[in-house]
Amino acid sequence: MATNYQVQYLDSDNNLVETTMVSNSSIEVEKTVSEMGGDVLSVLEKKSSSFNIQLGDPVKLQEKTNFIQQLKTMLSSGVSLVKSLEIALKQINNDTFRNTIETVINDIKQGNSFSDALKKHPKIFDKISIAMVEAGEKGGILDKMLEELEKSMKKDVEIRDNIKKATSYPKIVGSIMVISMYVVITKVIPTFTGILTSSGTEIPALTRYLLALGDFLDASGIYLLISLIGIFTLAKFIGKTESGKLFFDKIALKNPIFKKITIAAINLRFTKILGTLLSFGVPLKDALGVVKNVADNTIYINAIDKIIEDIESGKPITSSVKETNVFSDYLCSMVGVGEEVGALDKMFLSASEYYEIELTNSTDGLS
C-alpha cells in the first residue's frame, strides 16, 4: 500500500533536500533517491490521523487553475519543466496538492513524462487535464496546451459559479418546503386530527391518507434516508463501469438544462486542441488519437474512434464526421471546407471560436 514518507537527503550538488515521497516502502524511497544521485539522511513515515476524513475534492478547482497558470507562464518564458514545477510548488498551500506535485517532480526526474506522472493521481488531475498535457507533449507545444487548459479550467469555475447562483434560491425554497411539509404531516395534522376525533367529527379521507403517510415517515424516515444514500452510492459505482458511463454520458447529452453547455464544452475542447495540434504539424490521425480523450464523453470518444478507423481505410474525414451523427451540421460544413482547401487546422480553430461564444452564452444564461 502506498504511504507518504518525509525524506531528507543530499542531492548531487550536496544541497539539503526535504520532501515528501509516496512509495510502498522506505526501501523503495531510498532506492529512488539513490537513482536520482542523492544520499539519504532520513526517511520517516508520515502518520495520518484515522479521523482525517476527506470531504469533497482534495484540491479545489481554483487551486489547480492557479497552478496551471503559473506553470504555463514559466514554460512560456523558457524555464524548464522541472524548474517550473519546483517554482510553482512554492506557491501551493494545500498539503495534499503540495505532496502530489512533489511526487510528480520526482517521477519526472526519474524519466517519466509529465502526463504519465499526472496519471498516477486521478483524484487530483482529471482525464481532460491529463489528455491536454499529453497532447502538448506529443505536439511539442506544452505551454500552448497548458494555456488552453487554464482557459478550460477558468470556464469550468465560471460555469460552477453560475450553476450555484442559479440553483441556490430554488434549493433554499425547496428545502424549506420539504421541511415544512414534513412538520405539517407528522406533527400538525395528527394534533389537529386528535382534536377532531375527540369532538366526534368524522375525519375526511384525504386527512386519513396524510395521517398514514405521517405514520410511515415517522417509522421509516431513517430507512428512506439510508436508501437514498445507498441509491446515490450505487449510481456512482455504476458510473465507473463501461456500460454505466455510457448510460450517464447519454443522459448528459440529453439533459434539458445542461445539454447545450455540455455539447458546447466538448466541441470547444475538440476543435481548439485538434486545430492547434494540426497547425503544429501533428498528423491528423495522431492528433485525433490524442484529442479523443479530451471529450471525456463515451459517445464522442466512440465517434472519434470510428473517424480514425475510416481515415486509416482512406475515407475522407468530411464524410466520416457526418456519418457519426454526433457532430453538428455547422462543424461538418467547416470540416468539408477545410478538407477541400487544405486548411483543416484553420477551420477547426475558427469553429472553436464559434463554440467558445456558444459556451459563454449558455453559461451566462444560467445566472
**In angstroms, rounded to a whole number, what is the distance separating the alpha carbons of residues 257 and 166?**
11
Q: How far is it, in rounded angstroms, from Cα 316 to Cα 310?
A: 8
Please tell me the pTM assigned to this model.
0.60
State the Cα–Cα distance between residues 73 and 149, nearest whole angstrom: 13
In the sheet where 16-23 sits, what is the strand order?
Answer: 16-23, 3-10, 39-45
**Cα-based angle 178, 179, 182 (whole degrees, multiple of 5):** 85
pLDDT in tens, the chain (367 residues): 557 777 777 777 777 777 877 777 777 778 888 888 888 777 777 654 444 444 445 788 888 988 998 898 889 888 899 999 998 888 888 888 999 999 999 999 989 999 999 999 988 998 878 888 988 888 888 998 898 888 878 877 777 776 666 667 667 877 888 788 877 777 777 777 777 677 767 777 877 787 787 777 777 777 777 888 888 888 888 887 888 888 888 888 888 878 888 888 889 889 988 888 888 888 888 889 888 877 878 999 999 999 999 999 999 999 999 999 999 999 999 999 999 999 999 999 999 889 988 888 887 776 5
Identity at 300, one-letter amino acid code: Y
- d(C-alpha 23, C-alpha 46), whole Å: 11
Fold of 254-364: Receptor-associated Protein (1.20.81)
Cα dihedral sign for 326, 330, 333, 339? negative
3-state SS, one letter per residue, for the chain: CCEEEEEEEECCCCCEEEEEEEECCHHHHHHHHHHCCCEEEEEEECCCCCCCCCCCCCCCHHHHHHHHHHHHHHHHCCCCHHHHHHHHHCCCCCHHHHHHHHHHHHHHHCCCCHHHHHHCCCCCCCHHHHHHHHHHHHHCCHHHHHHHHHHHHHHHHHHHHHHHHHHHHHHHHHHHHHHHHHHHHHHHHHHHHHHHHHCCCCCCHHHHHHHHHHHHHHHHHHHHHHHHHHHHHHHHHHHCCHHHHHHHHHHHHHCCCCHHHHHHHHHHHHHHHHHHHHHCCCCHHHHHHHHHHHHCCHHHHHHHHHHHHHHHCCCCHHHHHHHCCCCCHHHHHHHHHHHHHCCHHHHHHHHHHHHHHHHHHHHHCCC
